[in-house]
Amino acid sequence: MPELPEVETIARTLAPRILGRRILEARFYSSLVAGGAAKELRRRVAGRKIAAVRRHGKFLLLDLDGETLSIHLGMTGRLLWGAVRGPYTRAEFLLDGGLLLYDDVRQFGRIELAGRTAALGPDALAIGESAFVDLLRTRRGRIKPLLLNQGLLCGIGNIYADEALFRARIHPLASAKRLSAARARRLHAAIQASLAAAIASGGSSISDYVDSEGRQGTFQLQHRVYGKAGEPCPACGTAIRRIVVAQRGTHYCPKCQRP
């Protein structure tokens, strides 16, 4: 579910609620969430104060004094402040002044102590134009799988890959290294624009995503191709096509995004 704009929105809504608060206790209701290390995690976070709320790619990072808690929401993870425990609550953090819930229907998300979370590329919102152009030049594969590869560039998922490629008018199967410098720069700008617009709308809510206050995002109302197979392209009216790339549903306009 959550890509960079959704995690960014959660970080922004959560920060004013939890910054400076102390974790009194962590509780786990599913053995999957902490990847088998629930006991150690409980011990290591208890009593620590939340000094910072950060995001890197799709990871939400809580800096405690001496530790960093790393939270990845998988497909259906939610971090909720002031909500009531439900059937999908997999973990909770009792803070001095409130309860932070971690709900996750499909349980693809993970909460762990940072340290192992290294092999990530630069954040998609932070990478500069020239570094991005260089990144594309050094790769042999197709552009969409590259955008989804968190080890090269992190934060972009299936929605924003499709949306950015459409805005840049680049076919998802185009060879990354054979893109002209002008097209690579256009893609960089399209990524920045897509992510910024999504953050401004509080993210995309397709089925599960809500921010830490339980509010849905509205950027799904501005999607141009994602989930719009068969509908007319907003630029030229041609029917949006859906293919499978890197095992993910991929939406594009066959006229605006020529191979």
Partner DNA sequence: ATTACTACCTGACAGC
Partner DNA sequence: TGCTGTCAGGTAGTAA
Chain contacts with DNA (rule: CB under 7 A):
1-3, 6, 32, 57-58, 72, 74-75, 87, 105-108, 139-142, 145-146, 148, 150, 154, 157-159, 204-209, 246-249
Size (the chain), residues: 259
| DSSP H/E element including 248 | strand 248-252
Catalytic status, residue 16: no
Catalytic status, residue 3: yes
Nearer to DNA, 175 or 192 (CB): 175
- Which of the following is catalytic: 3, 6, 8, 92? 3
CB of 75 to DNA, least distance (A): 4
Nearer to DNA, 58 or 188 (CB): 58
Catalytic status, residue 145: no
For residues 74 and 241, what is the distance between their CA atoms, to the nearest angstrom?
27
Residues contacting 16, CB < 8 A, separation 6+? none
Q: If DSSP codes are grouped into helix, strand and coil, which group holds residue 79?
A: strand
Phi then psi for 85, rounded to 5 degrees?
A: -55, 135
Nearer to DNA, 15 or 105 (CB): 105
Token pair 């990354």 in the structure block, residue: 176
- Which of the following is catalytic: 27, 44, 248, 255? 248
CB of 96 to DNA, least distance (A): 31
Distances (CA, A) of 215 to 112, 131, 198, 255: 26, 35, 14, 36
Catalytic status, residue 110: no
Nearer to DNA, 6 or 8 (CB): 6
CB of 101 to DNA, least distance (A): 17
CB of 126 to DNA, least distance (A): 16
For the chain, where are the alpha helices, taking DSSP H only?
4-18, 38-45, 129-137, 143-148, 158-168, 181-200
Which sequence positions are flagged as catalytic? 2-3, 58, 248
